[in-house]
């Protein structure tokens, strides 16, 4: 299992996100569970980001929403960085 860490800024963004989209909470929980077990699971569509977000990865919550994260394979650590729409997290 990977260890999931939420930054303080992520926690604030997450609270705002869930207030706006309470219907996505079950999907979010399922995504985090899959991420902790196997970040390379095909349903997450994990991919490395480029450009100014180089060093981060992204997983899909659904077709409209993403979670960006730092993935440390050696330490089996995942640090959640941002959550939101495609445009919000890739800005």
61-84 residue pLDDT tens: 888 888 888 877 667 889 988 888
- Look at residue 70 in the predicted model and tell me its pLDDT: 81
Report the range of poorest mean pLDDT among 2-11, 35-44, 52-61, 70-79.
70-79
Smallest Cα–Cα separation from 3: which of 56, 89, 73, 86? 73
Structural domain including 35 reads 3-90
Least confident stretch, 1-10, 36-45, 47-56, 73-82: 73-82
- Tell me the pTM: 0.86
Cα dihedral sign, 79-87-27-12: positive
Total tally of structural domains belonging to the chain: 1
- Domain with residue 48: its CATH number is 3.30.2310.20
Structure tokens given for 91: 């800005």
How would you list the strands of the sheet with 3-6, edge to edge?
3-6, 77-85, 65-72, 57-60, 47-48
Between residues 21 and 91, which one has the greater pLDDT? 21
């Amino acid at each position: 299992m990977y260890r999931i860490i939420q930054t303080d800024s992520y926690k604030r963004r997450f609270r705002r996100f869930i207030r706006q989209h309470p219907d996505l909470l079950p999907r979010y929980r399922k995504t985090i569970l899959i991420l902790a077990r196997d970040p390379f699971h095909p349903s997450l569509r994990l991919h490395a980001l480029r450009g100014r977000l180089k060093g981060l990865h992204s997983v899909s919550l659904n077709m409209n929403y993403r979670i960006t994260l730092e993935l440390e394979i050696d330490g089996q650590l995942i640090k959640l960085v941002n959550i939101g729409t495609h445009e919000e997290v890739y800005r």
